[in-house]
A and B are shown apart, each in its own frame.
Chain A
Amino acid sequence: EAGVAQSPRYKIIEKRQSVAFWCNPISGHATLYWYQQILGQGPKLLIQFQNNGVVDDSQLPKDRFSAERLKGVDSTLKIQPAKLEDSAVYLCASSLGVKETQYFGPGTRLLVL
């Protein structure tokens, strides 16, 4: 069974630029999550989707971050404009349902200069 796929794996941008990350969850998984992991810390949930609807985006900085899952499968997370403090690993996870085990992708490492 294929795991959660993410791209790109690495991205370097300058502050005030925009960037987008892509996630393809495990086939059949209805729930998709985006996490931000700053170096030395545990992952922090940014947004949770159930199919193509948002369940929880309470910790998403909505002035600069946006995410969508239009067809209830793939998802994109965008940052516009980026700040230095956005440098982190962005992890995507998926699960069969909201109460099921979450499976994580390898993450996208973002460096903002």
Chain B
Amino acid sequence: LAKTTQPISMDSYEGQEVNITCSHNNIATNDYITWYQQFPSQGPRFIIQGYKTKVTNEVASLFIPADRKSSTLSLPRVSLSDTAVYYCLVGGANQGGKLIFGQGTELSVKP
């Protein structure tokens, strides 16, 4: 399973766009990139998943360059309620759904 590296923490202000980058140099050909969000005292929540280029949903965008060795989660116009830990995970169907969580990025949004 590919290892991921992401910043331990980030600070932002309300209304700003936040980009969290994750490195996964050993990503395999059939690996997908998935991001989860976790609030205190709650379980992780699926945000977005992608394989290449760009994926967008109502919550975030995921940018994946051609070499797929990194990915960037983009949160547009963050609010205080986006303060959470964000996890980048890499894995594929051959892992049988197994998720390997790293330490995550603790995002703090200030007023």
Q: How many residues of B contact A (CB 8 A)?
A: 18
Task: Say yes or no: is A102 at the interface (Cβ < 8 Å to chain B).
Answer: yes
- Enumerate chain B residues within 8 angstroms of A42, measured Cβ to Cβ: 87, 101-104
Task: Say yes or no: is B59 at the interface (Cβ < 8 Å to chain A).
Answer: no
- Enumerate chain A residues within 8 angstroms of B102, measured Cβ to Cβ: 42
Contact B99 A104 (CB under 8 A): no
- Enumerate chain B residues within 8 angstroms of A91, measured Cβ to Cβ: 43-44
- Inter-chain contact total with CB atoms closer than 8 Å: 53
Task: Say yes or no: is B98 at the interface (Cβ < 8 Å to chain A).
Answer: yes
Interface residues of B, dominant DSSP = loop
- Enumerate chain A residues within 8 angstroms of B104, measured Cβ to Cβ: 42
Instruction: Identify A48's interface contact among B41, B42, B96, B101, CB under 8 A.
Output: B96
Contact A4 B43 (CB under 8 A): yes
A11 to chain B, nearest CB (A): 14
Instruction: Identify B101's interface contact among A44, A103, A106, A109, CB under 8 A.
Output: A44
Q: How many residues of A contact B (CB 8 A)?
A: 27
- Enumerate chain B residues within 8 angstroms of A107, measured Cβ to Cβ: 41-43
Q: Which chain A residues numbered 43 to 100 have a C-beta less than 8 Å away from chain B?
A: 43-45, 48, 55-56, 91-93, 95, 97-100
- Nearest B residue (CB) for A31: B97
Q: Which chain B residues numbered 78 to 106 have a C-beta less than 8 Å away from chain A?
A: 87, 93, 96-104
Contact B96 A98 (CB under 8 A): yes
Instruction: Report which A residues bind B (CB closer than 8 A).
Output: 4, 31, 40-45, 48, 55-56, 91-93, 95, 97-107, 109
Instruction: Report which B residues bind A (CB closer than 8 A).
Output: 41-46, 49, 87, 93, 96-104
Given A42-B101, A99-B97, A109-B41: 15 more A-B contacts, CB < 8 Å: A31-B97, A42-B103, A43-B99, A43-B101, A48-B96, A56-B96, A92-B43, A98-B96, A99-B96, A102-B97, A103-B46, A104-B43, A104-B45, A106-B41, A106-B43
